[in-house]
Amino acid sequence: FESGALAGQRVVITAGPTREPLDPVRYISNHSSGKMGYALARAAIDAGASVQLVSGPVAIPVPERADCRSVTTAQEMLDVCMELVEHCDIFIGCAAVADYRPLIESEQKIKKSSEEMSLKLTRNPDVLATVAGHAAKPFSVGFAAETENLREHALGKLERKGLSMIVANDVSDSSIGFNSENNAALLLWRDANGNGELDVEQCSKDVLAGIVIAQIAKLRQV
Ligand code: PMT
């Protein structure tokens, strides 16, 4: 993309996993490393944007010139994003937010007892859909992590969550997606001409991030 393609734009990017506590020492989470979201932050900075990361717990360094708010749970991620939404032109939801959290967070460590035990879970708020539906109306971009029917499921999320664009990745292949160096994606968007798409073959997360940022810049211009 052209440097300066996002000059003056305020970009908020969620990245990494969330952790949903069960008790003081245990949680439910997933394998997101933050690499994809942090690569997007670097690409947006290179395009001239000011970038605010809202990051779950990861083990990689915050890109230079990005601001980062660290969060743990989906609810905390939502709270921080709601603080930032009024000052946000472009929102990119790359975090692997837990869809459910334990209904009860035990104050004490849960003791071993019978052979089987069940956990009761409850739905988490949807950070991306909430931001996209906010009156401030940032240009909202989601990711879709799918293991089957990539296009169909991603288009469903684009519509349901009220997004401008979605980046669909197949997470059934461990060489791409969660915690790998590379990724491949199908970008789907809506514009004045209807729907558009771009198929990006396997490449590094940095290269994919550059392509996503360039496509966002293009859609913002028209
Ligand atoms: O972090 P890496 O190891 O580099 O891996 C990158 C990635 C695979 C995590 C990333 O490319 C990716 O696909 N991120 C989205 C993961 C995900 O949660 O997808 P989803 O299809 O379940 O969710 C759809 C969208 O809604 C996502 O933009 C997600 O951030 C958002 N969401 C989901 C649930 C929820 N409660 N709140 C949300 O905001």
Q: What is the pLDDT of residues 107-124, one digit of tens each?
A: 999 999 999 999 999 999
* Contact partners, residue 164, CB within 8 Å, separation at least 6: 139, 140, 141, 189, 190, 219
157 CB within 6 A, ligand 1: yes
Angle at 101 between CA 98 and CA 103, to 5 degrees: 165
Give pTM, 2 decimals. Answer: 0.97
pLDDT value of position 164: 96
Residue nearest to atom 13 of ligand 1 (CA): 145
Residue 50 has pLDDT above 80, yes or no: yes
Tell me whether residue 111 is in a domain.
no
Rounded mean pLDDT of 126-134?
98
**pLDDT digit string (tens) for 80-89?**
999 999 999 9
Q: Is 95 in the pocket of ligand 1 (CB under 6 A)?
A: yes
Can you give the pLDDT at residue 44? 98
Which atom in ligand 1 lies closest to the alpha carbon of residue 99? 36
CA 141 – CA 163 distance, rounded (Å): 6
Domain that holds residue 157: 10-104+119-221
99 labelled binding-site residue: yes
pLDDT at 192: 81
Task: Confirm whether 124 is domain-assigned.
Answer: yes
Say if 48 falls within a structural domain: yes
Distance in Å, CA 98 to ligand 1 centroid: 9
Q: Is residue 24 part of a domain?
A: yes
Residue range 87-99: mean pLDDT, rounded? 98
Residue 30 annotated in active site:
yes
- The minimum-distance atom of ligand 1 relative to the CA of 30 is 9
What's the confidence (pLDDT) of residue 191?
82
Look at residue 1 in the predicted model and tell me its pLDDT. 67
Q: What total of structural domains would you count in the chain?
A: 1
| Distance between Cα 112 and ligand 1 center (Å) | 33
Q: How far is the CA of 178 from the centre of ligand 1 (A)?
A: 10
Determine whether 178 is exposed, middle or buried from the number of CB atoms within 10 Å of its CB (0-12, 13-18, 19+): middle
pLDDT at residue 151 above 90? yes
**95 is annotated as contributing to ligand binding:** yes
Residue 181 inside a domain? The answer is: yes
- Ligand 1, atom 10, lies closest to the CA of 94
Segment 194-207, tens digit of pLDDT: 889 999 999 999 99
pLDDT digits (tens, 9 = 90+) for 3-34: 799 999 999 999 999 999 999 999 999 999 99
pLDDT at position 96, please? 98
Q: What average pLDDT does the structure give for the chain?
A: 96
Distance 17 CA to ligand 1 centre (A): 8
Give domain status of residue 112, yes or no: no
Kindly name the residue from 30, 124, 169, 183 that is annotated as catalytic: 30
- Give the distance (Å) from ligand 1 centre to CA of residue 57: 14
Residue 197 near residue 155, CB atoms below 8 Å: no
Within a domain: 196: yes
CATH classification of the domain holding 46: 3.40.50.10300
Share of the chain above pLDDT 70, in %: 99
Task: Answer whether 145 contacts ligand 1 (Cβ < 6 A).
Answer: yes
With cut-offs at 50, 70 and 90, classify the pLDDT of residue 70.
very high
57 annotated to bind ligand: no
Domain contains 141: yes
Amino acid 193: pLDDT: 81
- Output the six-digit token pair for 68: 């980062």
Given a cut of 70, whether residue 222 has pLDDT beyond it is no
Ligand 1 atom at minimum distance from 141 CA = 28
- Work out the average pLDDT over 80-105: 98
Mean pLDDT, range 181-193, rounded to an integer: 92
